[in-house]
Amino acid sequence: MAMAQINDDAPAAIVTSDQTQNSPIVIGHRGAAGYLPEHTTEGVVLAHAMQADYIEQDVVLSKDSIPIVFHDLILDDLTNAATVFPDRKRADGHWYVMDFTLHELRKLTVTERRSPSRPWKDKGNRFPLESGNFRIATLAEHLQLIQGLNKTRPNEAGVYAELKSPAEHRAAGLDLAKAVLEVLSQYGYDSADDHIYLQCFDEAEVRRLRKELKTPLLIIQLLNQPADPAKLKSIAEVADGIGVPLNHVVTGKNADDTPQLTELVKNAHAHALQVHVWTFRTDALPEYAGSVSEYLEWLVAAGGVDGIFADQPDVVVEWRIARKQQVNGGNRFRLLNDRDPEKSQADK
**Pairwise CA distance, residues 118 & 115, whole Å:** 8
267, containing H or E segment: helix 264-270
SS3 at position 174: coil
| Residue 314: partners with Cβ closer than 8 Å, 6 or more residues away | 32, 50, 51
Active-site residue list: 29, 71
| Helices and strands: H and E segment counts in the chain | 12, 13
**Pairwise CA distance, residues 218 & 236, whole Å:** 12
Amino acid 246: pLDDT = 98
Query: Are 48 and 149 within 8 A, CB to CB?
Result: yes
Amino acid 341: pLDDT = 36
Q: Which of 244, 235, 216, 213 is nearest to 307 (CA)?
A: 244
DSSP 204-220: HHHHIIIIIS---SEEE
List 160's β-bridge partners, or say none. Answer: 56, 197
Amino acid 121: pLDDT = 86
The CA R_g of the chain, rounded to the nearest whole Å, is 20
Greatest CA separation found in the chain? 62
| Residue 25: partners with Cβ closer than 8 Å, 6 or more residues away | 53, 54, 276, 306, 307, 308, 333, 335
Query: Are 300 and 307 within 8 A, CB to CB?
Result: no
Q: Which CATH superfamily is domain 3-33+43-68+136-279+292-347 in?
A: Phosphatidylinositol (PI) phosphodiesterase (3.20.20.190)
Amino acid 119: pLDDT = 87
Amino acid 338: pLDDT = 40
Tens digits of pLDDT across the chain (348 residues): 333 333 334 333 333 444 444 579 999 999 999 999 999 999 999 999 999 999 999 999 999 999 999 999 999 999 999 999 999 999 999 999 999 999 999 999 999 999 988 889 888 899 999 999 999 999 999 999 999 999 999 999 999 999 999 999 999 999 999 999 999 999 999 999 999 999 999 999 999 999 999 999 999 999 999 999 999 999 999 999 999 999 999 999 999 999 999 999 999 999 999 999 999 999 999 999 999 999 999 999 999 999 999 999 999 999 999 988 776 544 333 333 443 434 433 443
List 159's β-bridge partners, or say none. Answer: 55, 196
**Pairwise CA distance, residues 137 & 10, whole Å:** 32
Compute CA distances 219 → 16, 216, 293, whole Å.
19, 9, 29
**Pairwise CA distance, residues 343 & 6, whole Å:** 13
Amino acid 328: pLDDT = 53
